[in-house]
Amino acid sequence: MPYWQDNIHKNETWEKIDSIPNEKLWKEHMLRKQKLIEFVKDNVSTRLRREHYPYEEINEITSKLDPNALTIGFARRFATYKRGTLLFKDLERITEILNNNKKPVQILIAGKAHPRDKEGQDLIKYIHEISLKPQFKGKIFLLENYNMGMSRLLISGVDVWLNTPRRPMEASGTSGEKASVNGVVNFSILDGWWAEAYNQKNGWAIGTNKEYENYDIQDNEDSQSIYNILENKIIPAYYEKDENGISEKWLELMKNSIKSTGGEYSTARMLVDYCNKLYMPLANLYNKYYTNLNNVGEFEELKREFYRNWNAIEIKEQNNMNNIAVDAGETIKVSCEVRLPNISPENIQVEVYYGKIRENGMVEKIAVIPMQIYEENEEERKYYYEAQIELTTGGEYGYTFRVMPKHEMLLDAENLNLVKWIEK
């Protein structure tokens, strides 16, 4: 039997999660939650003692930490795009949600702002003040000095991982990836990694992927979405517990989280991709061509030719370039004329670049396919290219043409920074 840790990057490895008995997974999760709660007690007590809070009051606050309560984790660098205080946009609603005694919810917030980021520091100060309001005491816990050790406890010990970046600013959101593989269910804006990983069964999406012109409207809609989903989906799923204190629904979400992201979002998968798609092909190219100086010299000369002559390439449409509306399953044929005054057709690749046009003008489902020569006029250096595009879904499509450099010593056509688009 291969050791599972040698196959972290493969999805099959993670499908076996289904065979873990629910009681066992839940017990493991609760152990981590207990450990986290002990840590939170210490951290919060230390902070409040420094602020000269009386012992009785500190004790009153920390004794409310409840391992059986739905626990939401929210830990971030307090960069403003992360919208650290979005959760408190409507204080009445969040008060109501946190103070349902039958279905308690507690929130752990950890943060760190850059020493020179005054705005970020103010956000933390605001959360500190909020957490000491009577209705939030013992419900919202602020942890200072977010670091990797704390992050480890949080992303393995809470039930839900919240992330509220302002779309489309989140590059990735790696903390959510780390949480997910620990069976912590994500509840996030459809941005960064979550826009790719969310599959409707492994967590929840805040808001929609609509575009906003105005930050205020965006913040209002997103925060209302947070409250609605908490009330209608997350809290009911968590508290649908059987006599053994286990919610089948919740365990399914946990397992779906682990299964759907453990392989795909692992560092192992990233490294395997780097090796297979970049390092190995580059090493092979090197061994095959770059050890011979003549090859290198010729390729350098060709590159100089490319740069000298690239601008003289002319592309003309053969058919009408207007956008086209098609039914699903249709195939369309497109063609263009390319004039290559000083470059050989062997050293270029002509491509059709197309995509579906959405109502707001955005283009989605972008694809690029190579085109083939079907006729040439050597004297005038004119070459005619065509391609068939198979459209799997109907709707309005737009397409255009481009020419890229091509050579066996070039790992990727983009690497020379030469792309000639048709000029309309």
What residues make contact with ligand PLP under the rule CB under 6 A? 76-77, 146-148, 151, 172-175, 178
End-to-end CA, the chain: 60
Alpha carbon 18 to its chain's center: 25
9 vs 178 by CB, closer to ligand PLP: 178
* Cα–Cα distance for residue pair 85/74, rounded to 1 Å: 10
Lateral strand order in the sheet of 203-206: 140-143, 105-112, 70-77, 160-163, 185-189, 203-206
For ligand PLP, give the closer residue by CB, 161 or 401: 161
- Which residues, 6 or more positions from 346, have their beta carbon under 8 angstroms from its beta carbon? 406
> Is residue 200 left, alpha or beta, with left meaning phi > 0 and alpha meaning psi from -120 to 50?
left
The least CB distance from residue 227 to ligand PLP, in Å, is: 22
Shortest Å, Cβ 185 to ligand PLP? 15
Nearer to ligand PLP, 55 or 81 (CB): 81
* Least distance CB 144 / ligand PLP (angstroms): 13
* Closest to 361 measured CA to CA, from 243, 221, 211, 230: 211
**Shorter beta-carbon distance to ligand PLP: residue 72 or 371:** 72
Which residues fall within 8 angstroms of residue 243, CB to CB, at 6 or more apart? none
| Amino acid symbol at 79 | A
- Least distance between ligand PLP and beta carbon 171 (Å): 8
Integer angstrom CA distances of residue 157 from 2, 87, 160, 191, 233: 29, 20, 9, 24, 21
Q: Which is nearer to ligand PLP, 172 or 372 (CB)?
A: 172
Distances (CA, A) of 324 to 17, 307, 367, 384: 46, 35, 16, 22
Q: How far is the CB of 74 from ligand PLP (least distance, A)?
A: 10
**Minimum distance between the CB of residue 79 and ligand PLP, rounded to whole angstroms?**
8
Beta carbon nearer to ligand PLP, 175 or 256: 175
> Least distance in Å: CB of 147 to ligand PLP?
5
Nearer to ligand PLP, 111 or 207 (CB): 111
Q: How far is the CB of 332 from ligand PLP (least distance, A)?
A: 42
Distance in Å, CB of 47 to ligand PLP, minimum: 18
Query: Half-sphere exposure of 16 toward its Cβ, with a 13 Å CA cutoff?
Result: 7
Q: Is the peptide bond before 115 cis (omega within 30 degrees of 0)?
A: no
31: CB partners within 8 A, 6+ apart: none
Between 138 and 192, CB nearer to ligand PLP: 192
Tokens linked to 37: 């709660």
- Measure the CA–CA gap between 245 and 224, rounded to whole angstroms: 30
CA-nearest of 152, 174, 196, 186 to 257 is 186
Place of tokens 């994500």: 186
Q: Which is nearer to ligand PLP, 167 or 178 (CB)?
A: 178
CB of 260 to ligand PLP, least distance (A): 18
What lies within 8 Å, CB to CB, of 202 at 6+ separation is 180, 185, 186, 253, 256, 257, 259, 260, 261
Residue 170: CB minimum distance to ligand PLP, A: 8
